Structure 1
Amino acid sequence: MIGIAQTANLALCDMAIERAQSRTESLPGMICLYGPSGTGKSITASFVAHRRQAYYVQAKSVWTKKFFLQTILQEMGINTVKSLPEMLEMAAKELALSNRPLIIDEMDHLVDKGAVELVRDLYESSQAVILLIGEERLPDKLKKYERFHGRVLDWVPARLVDLDDARKLSSFYAASIEVADDLLETLVAQAAGSIRRLVVNLERIQEVALSCGWTIADQTNWASRPLYTGQAPKRRLL
């Protein structure tokens, strides 16, 4: 799991929840973690949810408001076929009593479905810490909802993968070999900020290294072998 590697985004996410949980009563309690696809936001949030004993839901594009609340209640271990207002009150009550955070991944889907005010209702009724996770444009999408936007304590941009992250990730995804910094720097450049791309390349490098009998993979012995960039190869037509 990427989260185990203690990447920069894991630390950012964990510290943001800590700040929200220790805030004074006059401060808002919602946090927004946003950034491009591939930066490890979801895996980071899943790991932090386990560490902080948070309720965690990952929204889908087809979710309705009712299904959203049903999923939260299922995560809480509450079975219900109640009405929408009743489910909202039950979820809010559990958040308030348990003092556990709620993490909503893929928040963009709920914005697109017009469920923003429902999330605000959950917050207002519980005053619980709620972490919203979404794509790069999520803060811009939420600007039009003034009452919601003003209740966000922290806007946390996800960090693009860097050399320090690459070193930590290599100990998990290429644990059987040593990957030298010069090759890691190449991987970071090729990844264009994406942890996902970097991890794919680390696994590929380890596979090649083991087959070649290397204990260390560096730029010299990797030479001109191709790396994964996420781009589809161009078709070669005769």
Structure 2
Amino acid sequence: MSQSHSIGKGLQPLTNVALMAELIEKLNSRKFGMPGFGVFHGPYGYGKTYSASFALNMVDAVHVSYVKGWTVKHFLKSIARAMNLPPLRKSAQWGEYMDALIDALRSSGTTLLLDEVNLIVKQELFMETIRVLGDNSQATVVLIGTDELPQYLQMHGALSSRCTWCPAQPSDLTDARMLASYYADGVTISNDLLEIVVNRCTGSARLICKELVQIDEWAVAHGFAEVDAATAGHIDFSESNSAPIPRKGLKV
């Protein structure tokens, strides 16, 4: 399944965008009585959040990323705001937000995309809140997080037993070529160089984009219309993917 998402001038059919789309489609078309929980997991930089953002253009969905320090009530209020629900009274308790969200999700059929769940997966109240939201509303709920998320979810058997798993995949040469059409649109990059970039970035879409921008900027600055692996030997990629080492002789 190939899904495309416009990021400026081009349409980008990316592997993980398609996987997210397939997961949501599978959950939305599930048989009556089957659980609607999905887990989209993978390393940082694989484009999980980008894929969730694309899904907003594909289905009726809301995307909420947990922020460290939020209480369960604030988490629920953020979901309610994303769904454009009328605000409850200031003294409303989290249970009242639960009731309002369950009713809204049940009646609207909205897909719920919850991001950074790896930050709350060890907290029983958060996980049970998410389970009750999905169970009582019969909504599709996709949990998004790092590769460790599925294992930590095993701590919550009532939730993990309801989940459909979908691992995000490392970006390949095709993904890199599509990304290059946007992030390095000022230069033609050879396949041999793209393969090096993909391997060096271990499939991380975020790191690939950073290196593509660096190649583009270097090529424009030095007057190159095309860059291959040999030419790219003049580019210092350590600036884009490595943290700088401490400088000697500096007083703190």
Structure 1-normalised TM-score? Answer: 0.94
Q: Distance in 2 between matches of 1:66 and 1:234?
A: 41
Hey, what does 1:48 align to over in structure 2?
Answer: 55
1:209 is aligned to 219
1:236 Cα shift? Answer: 6.7
Structure 1 position 126 matched with structure 2 position 137: yes
Q: Which whole-Å CA distance do the structure 2 matches of 1:28 and 1:34 have between them? A: 18
Q: Which amino acid aligns with 2:180?
A: S
The corresponding residue for 1:8 is 15
Whole-Å separation in 2 of the counterparts to 1:40 and 1:144: 26
SS in 2 for 1:55: strand
> Once the 2 structures are TM-superposed, how far is the Cα of residue 235 of structure 1 from its aligned partner?
4.6
- Post-superposition Cα deviations, 1:155-205, rounded to whole Å, max 9, x if no partner, equal 111101111110111011011221110110110011012111110010010
**What is the identity, as a one-letter code, of the residue corresponding to 2:147?**
E
Shift, 1:109, TM fit: 2.1
Kept after mapping to 2: 8 A contact 1:49/1:103: no
1:145 Cα deviation after fit: 0.8
Which is worse superposed, 192-201 or 228-237? Answer: 228-237
Q: For residues 33 and 164 of structure 1, what CA distance do their matches in structure 2 show?
A: 21
2:115–2:143 contact (8 Å) kept in structure 1:
yes
Displacement, 1:125?
Answer: 1.0
Matches within 5 A, 1:69-148: 69-78=76-85, 79-81=87-89, 82-114=92-124, 115-148=126-159
Q: For 1:230 and 1:173, locate their aligned partners in 2 and report how far apart those are by CA, in whole Å.
A: 16
SS in 2 for 1:128: coil
CA contact (8 A) 1:35 1:158 kept: yes
Q: Secondary structure at the match of 2:40?
A: strand
SS at structure 2 position matched to 1:219: coil
SS in 2 for 1:104: strand
Note if contact 2:111-2:140 (Cα within 8 Å) is conserved in structure 1. Answer: yes
State the one-letter code of the partner of 1:139. P
1:61-120 residue CA offsets vs partner (Å, 9 max, x unmatched) = 111100011101111112123221111011011111111100000011222343100000
Paired residue secondary structure (1:11): helix
CA shift, 1:60, in A, is 1.1
Alpha-carbon distance, 1:237 to partner: 5.1
Q: Normalising by the residue count of structure 2, what TM-score does the alignment of the two structures yield?
A: 0.89
Superposition CA RMSD, Å: 1.8
Post-superposition Cα deviations, 1:121-144, rounded to whole Å, max 9, x if no partner, equal 101110100011001100011001
Task: State whether structure 2 residue 241 is matched by structure 1 residue 230.
Answer: yes
Distance 2:210 2:235 in 1: 14
Residue 175 of structure 1 is matched in structure 2 by 185
Structure 1 range deviating more: 64-73 or 103-112: 103-112
Structure 2: which 5+ residue stretches go unaligned? Answer: 1-6
By how many angstroms is 1:26 displaced? 3.2
For 1:161, the equivalent position in structure 2 comes to 171
Contact in 2 for aligned 1:39/1:161 (Cα 8 Å): yes
CA–CA distance in structure 2, aligned partners of residues 74 and 147 of structure 1: 27
1:214–1:224: structure 2 CA closer, same or farther, 3 Å change rule? Answer: closer
